[in-house]
């Protein structure tokens, strides 16, 4: 049985992920630090809230492998095939990769220019396996012991973190994810009521704003944390605020669409990037956007600007809307067609 507020929180997170990848996020100087603090951690913490080791360790590993690594391999391969088709169609060789780049990208889950968001799957898989391994111990220790475990894992993350370095399956990020999963599990164990009061919500928000001011812009993919411990604190605070907001919004029918996006958030994460690349490729073929002296990037267009311009602002807003809505609509169409096909075959 699905939990509405968690799906809403994940829906908001995947919208934030796609919005940040459009390259045209409005007020990005102010919004990007806030979005980057929670758009990935929300997925991981909510995974901890829902974590259930309801099978033996080997069965659990097999299930998670089938759910995360098999799609990772398949989508990596399909995205690579699509990349071969469009890479020479760009007016600038942004998508040029060597076989070594592709191999390292697959093993490290990093630098996959033809489907960047796939990086999330390997470290999340490793983190879930680590969680399952230590869960028997987690269940028998008290609150103090669990807090010590969390502090210990946070310390390990800071020690092994290697910014700018590509590691197998991004295992340093898997330690961060392990911390966030167990934090979510702690919330569930303590049965914390996430429907915060306005006063408490406001206090957390003020603390978060102060923390974001100190850390500046961060990026979990590129391991740009500035102050790792402060980043962890910010990610917890921001995720709690999003989850708390979702508990209030779940009673409104207008959030049903966002809830559905949350239900299929991993699929949206997997497909929106190559869809954006194909959009850029197809728009490039029309020659329309080239009238603005643009240069294709890995997912969108770089529009040079010598200063503020109302016309340029309208173009950026239009492209932001296009690159946000089309991948969502296209992915949901694919999902609906797949569901209908599956029902047709098996019914």
User: 93-104 in b/e burial notation, b at 16+ Cβ within 10 A?
Assistant: ebbebeeeebeb
Residue 338 lies in a domain: no
Residue 262 lies in a domain: no
Residue 4 lies in a domain: no
Token pair listed for 300: 């969108």
Contact by Cβ (8 Å): 299, 273: yes
- Which pLDDT score, from 0 to 100, does residue 89 have? 64
Counted domains in the chain: 1
Most confidently modeled range among 53-57, 79-83, 233-237: 233-237
Residue 239 lies in a domain: yes
- Which pLDDT score, from 0 to 100, does residue 36 have? 92
Give per-residue pLDDT as tens, 188-210: 999 999 999 999 999 999 999 99
Which of 45-59, 124-138, 263-277 is predicted with the least confidence, judged by mean pLDDT? 45-59
- Which pLDDT score, from 0 to 100, does residue 308 have? 62
Residue 201 lies in a domain: yes
Give per-residue pLDDT as tens, 109-157: 776 788 889 999 999 999 999 999 999 999 999 999 999 999 999 999 9
Residue 333 lies in a domain: no
Q: Which residue has the tokens 């889950």?
A: 109
pTM value? 0.92
Contact by Cβ (8 Å): 303, 312: yes
Range list of β-strands (E), 270-314: 295-296, 301-302
Structural domain of 200:
27-251
- Which pLDDT score, from 0 to 100, does residue 37 have? 92
Residue 45 lies in a domain: yes
Residue 16 lies in a domain: no
Distance of CA 262 to the CA centre of its chain: 12
Give per-residue pLDDT as tens, 221-259: 888 888 899 999 999 999 999 999 999 998 887 789 999
Q: Minimal CA–CA distance to 48: which of 117, 109, 138, 122?
A: 138
């Amino acid at each position: 049985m699905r939990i509405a507020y968690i799906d809403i929180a994940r829906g908001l997170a995947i919208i934030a992920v796609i919005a940040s990848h459009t390259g045209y996020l409005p007020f990005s100087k102010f919004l990007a630090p806030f979005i980057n603090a929670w758009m990935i951690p929300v997925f991981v913490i909510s995974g901890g809230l829902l974590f259930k080791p309801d099978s033996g360790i080997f069965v659990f590993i097999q299930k998670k492998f089938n759910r995360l690594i098999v799609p990772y391999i398949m989508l990596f391969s399909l995205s690579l095939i699509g990349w071969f088709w469009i890479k020479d169609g760009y007016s600038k060789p942004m998508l040029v990769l060597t076989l070594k780049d592709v191999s390292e990208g697959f093993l490290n889950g990093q630098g996959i220019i033809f489907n960047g968001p796939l990086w999330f799957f390997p470290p999340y898989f490793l983190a879930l396996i680590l969680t399952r391994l230590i869960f028997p111990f987690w269940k028998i220790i008290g609150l103090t012991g669990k807090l010590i475990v969390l502090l210990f894992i946070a310390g390990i993350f800071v020690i092994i973190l290697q910014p700018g370095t590509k590691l197998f399956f991004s295992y340093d990020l898997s330690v961060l994810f392990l911390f966030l999963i167990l934090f979510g599990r702690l919330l569930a164990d303590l049965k914390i009521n996430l429907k915060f009061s306005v006063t408490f919500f406001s206090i957390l928000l003020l603390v978060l704003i102060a923390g974001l001011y100190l850390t500046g812009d961060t990026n979990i993919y590129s391991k740009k944390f500035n102050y790792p411990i402060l980043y962890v604190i910010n990610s917890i605070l921001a995720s709690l605020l999003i989850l708390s907001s979702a508990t209030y919004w779940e009673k409104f029918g207008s959030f049903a669409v966002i809830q559905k996006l949350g239900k299929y958030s991993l699929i949206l994460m997997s497909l929106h990037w190559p869809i954006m690349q194909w959009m850029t490729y197809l728009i490039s073929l029309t020659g329309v956007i080239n009238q603005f002296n643009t240069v294709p990037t890995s997912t969108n267009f770089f529009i040079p600007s010598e200063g503020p311009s109302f016309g340029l602002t309208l173009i950026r807003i239009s492209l932001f809307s296009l690159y946000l809505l089309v991948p969502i609509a296209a992915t949901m169409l694919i999902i609906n067609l797949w569901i209908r096909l599956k029902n047709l075959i098996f019914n």
